[in-house]
């Protein structure tokens, strides 16, 4: 940072009277650029404190047991033949009257004793942290940013520096309680106003949610937001831990499988000068060291117990290095490969990469490719998409609309005398034992084998858009899910268990609920539209689409309001296991296993900041579908594991499915 010379000027050069005139008239125009100012430190300054609504958020409701049982049967109906459905129906009836009733009473009592959180929180964290599968492909998704509209700002180092600055500004705004609270406005003209903010701010936090409710505005849970930064997942035998380090002020940067750290905040919490941050990143980018021969990042992609054993060995001789990695604000990855603007290459690079230049345990990694393409890959146990999407939206907006590092400033920039990046940047050194080298080698082999088996296909359909759906008075999301069902029918015949994630962040410590898009209505339509007989009229087919949309809308509403069946049944089973009670017969029914073997695993990514997003299938004979429907088109990233499934064939079936649906919607009766 350029050093101010106030003291020198005012005490050594001029006399007393001159000093007075200098301080009064001249000095204000010579102020050094101060990145401790609020305008530089914060994204914005919300009038309503960030966590103002948190104490009064409603609690996630436990659905009525009879409602859960009926919803479960409704979801099973299109998946089972008549005989198996009757068997399941009997098991559900017994469960509702006997074992399920007792478990539900216990769950309600437990929930009443833990009013500070939700009934799903403990079991959901436990589910994630006890799973011994590798988190790569099985859990970590990616979400990629659109390019900076100013092409010259897509230089890798410039973009990484601007993203880093915006990310720290987001963190500082959050920590200061100045980040605008997340609120869902049903009527933005009425509630997304200064009057609304003034009114709810005056209310005590214990009542603030109710004030927002009167405006038809619904504050969302923000308890996950602090875990975005300075946090990591620590591997341990049997069950991992989530750890936060609130005082660390350094960022972790990876390049070539090596780890670098440097402080981006000073002792007073002020952000390092932008050009100094750029200089540090450029120094790392130009480090002549060869790529790591034994990149330990591969270990984070291992079976969690395998990684826990290796982690223990690493900490024996590299305790400070491991703490530097774990405690870092976040992980910024500089990749030495580009994407050629190829959606498949983009997806594979940001979903898993080559494994050497990744640390999958950090709460999130912001990855910038050689050509400036950028994405977030995040560990899923600490939180869900709501917090990550807010970060992505804010960081893109800030880094593109208010970039702090500019191409003209750094073009041909000579080494600066007042700032030496080699003094600030530290490369973490690892001297691995033969045992650890062998562990890395094994991990690399397994990683290459696993990721090599995954295929990625991109599907885009122009013209079928949000606007078109609204014109036709059908739900855009319902049409996306209907297209998946029709495509599956075309490719495979029949139906399959389908999962769509839905946030329950309208409630305190809400996580997600499952929407079950495979319904009796979508099944009837899929069979009708793929039948060769064509016995249904245009009017009948149009009415069937409307029914599919209506039912899907109702399922979505129920899930968002905590009225699905999946989390409730999951919590009851978990409770039985925790209290060493007999596991009810319902959970041993093959139909229960089948509906939780999600062949079609889907998640929507609706944001103008997002170019692509995706994840791997959750079962080896399934599909992972990250999708979006935009103002002018719809699309999906489809992942599969051949030979179990063909993603390219499914993408072709999607093309046919949406073409058929569009034809029906466009034709007049």
Q: Which residue numbers are catalytic?
A: 380
| Tokens matching residue 377 | 């890959």
Burial of 8 (0-12, 13-18, 19+ CB in 10 A): exposed
Nearest Cα residue to 530 out of 555, 493, 562 = 493
Nearest to 261 by CA among 329, 319, 312: 329
Burial class (CB in 10 A: 0-12, 13-18, 19+), 189: exposed
Q: How many residues does the chain have?
A: 669
Distance CA 86, CA 171 (A): 54
Distance CA 623, CA 613 (A): 14
CA-nearest of 469, 467, 463 to 481 is 469
Q: What sign does the CA torsion over 571, 572, 577, 580 have?
A: positive
C-beta of residue 631 within 8 angstroms of C-beta of residue 440? no
The torsion angles phi and psi of 259, rounded to 5 degrees, stand at -115, 130
Q: Rounded to an integer, what distance in angstroms lies between the CA atom of residue 419 and that of residue 286?
A: 17
603 Cβ contact list (under 8 Å, min separation 6): 141, 385, 500, 501, 613, 615, 625, 626, 627
**Cα 535–Cα 541–Cα 547 angle in degrees, nearest 5:** 135
CB 206 within 8 A of CB 227: no
Burial class (CB in 10 A: 0-12, 13-18, 19+), 168: buried
Tokens coding 89: 């129906």
What DSSP string describes 59-118?
BPPPPPHHHHHHHHHHHHTTTS-HHHHHHHHHHHHHHHHTHHHHHHHHHHHHHHT-TTS-
Phi and psi based region of residue 534 (left: phi greater than 0; alpha: psi -120 to 50; beta: remaining): left
Q: What distance in Å separates the CA atoms of residue 590 and residue 583, rounded to the nearest whole number? A: 14
- 3-state class of 245 per DSSP? coil
Helix (H) or strand (E) holding 185, with range, is strand 183-185
d(CA 206, CA 220): 15
Burial environment of residue 93 by CB neighbours within 10 A (0 to 12, 13 to 18, 19 or more): middle
Task: Say how far apart CA 379 and CA 159 lie, in whole Å.
Answer: 23
* Radius of gyration over every alpha carbon of the chain, rounded to an integer in angstroms: 27
Positive or negative, the CA dihedral 303, 312, 224, 130 is positive
Contact 556, 515 (CB under 8 A): yes
Distant-in-sequence, close-in-space partners of 371: CB < 8 Å, separation ≥ 6? 154, 156, 338, 339, 340, 341
Nearest to 159 by CA among 148, 146, 145, 175: 148
- Strand 258-263 versus strand 426-428 pairing type: antiparallel
């Amino acid at each position: 940072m350029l050093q101010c010379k106030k003291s020198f000027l005012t005490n050594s050069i001029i006399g007393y009277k001159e000093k007075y005139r200098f301080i009064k008239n001249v000095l204000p125009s010579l102020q050094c650029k101060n990145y401790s100012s609020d305008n530089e430190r914060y994204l914005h300054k919300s009038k309503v404190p960030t966590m103002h609504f948190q104490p009064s958020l409603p609690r996630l409701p436990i659905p009525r047991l009879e409602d859960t049982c009926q919803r479960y049967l409704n979801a099973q109906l299109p998946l089972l033949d008549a005989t198996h459905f009757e068997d399941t129906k009997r098991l559900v009836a017994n469960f509702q009257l006997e074992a399920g009733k007792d478990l539900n009473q216990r769950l309600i009592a437990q929930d009443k004793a833990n009013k500070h959180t939700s009934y799903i929180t403990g079991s959901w964290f436990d589910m994630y942290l006890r799973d011994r599968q590798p988190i790569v492909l099985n859990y970590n998704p990616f979400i990629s940013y659109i390019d900076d509209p100013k092409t010259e700002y897509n230089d890798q180092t410039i973009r990484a520096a601007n993203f880093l600055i915006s990310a720290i500004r987001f963190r500082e705004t959050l920590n200061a309680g100045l980040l605008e609270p997340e609120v869902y406005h049903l009527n933005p003209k009425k509630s997304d106003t200064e009057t609304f903010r003034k009114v709810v701010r005056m209310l005590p936090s214990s009542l603030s949610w109710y004030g927002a409710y009167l405006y038809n505005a619904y504050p969302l849970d923000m308890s996950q937001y602090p875990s975005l930064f300075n946090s990591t997942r620590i591997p341990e035998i049997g069950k991992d831990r989530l750890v936060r380090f609130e005082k660390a002020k350094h960022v972790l940067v990876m390049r070539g499988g090596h780890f670098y750290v440097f402080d981006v905040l000073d002792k007073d919490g002020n952000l390092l000068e932008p050009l100094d941050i750029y200089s540090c990143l450029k120094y790392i980018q130009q480090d002549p060291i060869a790529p790591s021969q034994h990149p330990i990042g591969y270990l984070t992609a291992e079976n969690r117990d395998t990684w826990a054993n290796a982690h223990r060995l690493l900490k024996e001789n590299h305790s400070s290095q491991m703490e530097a990695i774990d405690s870092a604000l976040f992980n910024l990855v500089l990749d030495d490969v580009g994407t050629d603007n190829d959606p498949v290459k983009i997806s594979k690079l940001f979903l898993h990469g080559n494994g050497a230049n990744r640390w999958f345990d950090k709460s999130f990694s912001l990855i910038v490719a050689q050509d400036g393409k950028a994405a977030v890959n995040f560990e899923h146990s600490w939180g869900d998409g709501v917090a990550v999407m807010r970060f992505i939206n804010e960081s893109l907006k800030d880094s593109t609309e208010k970039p702090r590092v500019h191409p003209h400033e750094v073009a041909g920039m000579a080494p600066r005398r007042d700032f030496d990046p080699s003094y600030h940047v530290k490369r973490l050194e690892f001297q691995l034992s033969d045992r650890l080298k062998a562990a890395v080698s094994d991990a690399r082999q397994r990683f290459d084998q696993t990721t090599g088996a995954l295929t990625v296909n991109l599907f885009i359909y122009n013209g079928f858009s949000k606007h078109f759906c609204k014109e036709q008075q059908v739900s855009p999301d319902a049409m996306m899910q209907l297209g998946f069902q029709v495509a599956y029918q075309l490719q495979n015949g029949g139906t399959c268990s389908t999962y769509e994630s839905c946030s329950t962040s309208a409630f305190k410590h809400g996580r997600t609920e499952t929407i079950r898009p495979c319904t009796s209505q979508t099944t009837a339509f899929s069979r009708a539209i793929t039948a060769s007989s064509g016995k249904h009229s245009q009017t009948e087919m149009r009415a069937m689409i409307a029914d599919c949309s209506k039912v899907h809308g109702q399922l979505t509403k129920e899930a968002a309001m905590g009225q699905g069946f999946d989390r409730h049944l999951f919590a009851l089973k978990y409770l039985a296991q925790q209290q060493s009670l007999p596991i009810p017969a319902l959970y041993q029914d093959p139909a229960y296993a089948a509906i939780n073997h999600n062949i079609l695993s889907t998640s929507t990514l609706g944001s103008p900041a997002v170019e692509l997003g995706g994840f791997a299938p959750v079962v080896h004979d399934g599909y992972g579908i990250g999708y979006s429907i935009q103002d002018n088109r719809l699309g999906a990233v489809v992942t599969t594991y051949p030979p179990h499934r063909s993603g390219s064939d499914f993408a072709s079936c999607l093309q046919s499915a949406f073409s058929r649906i569009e034809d029906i919607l466009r034709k007049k009766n």
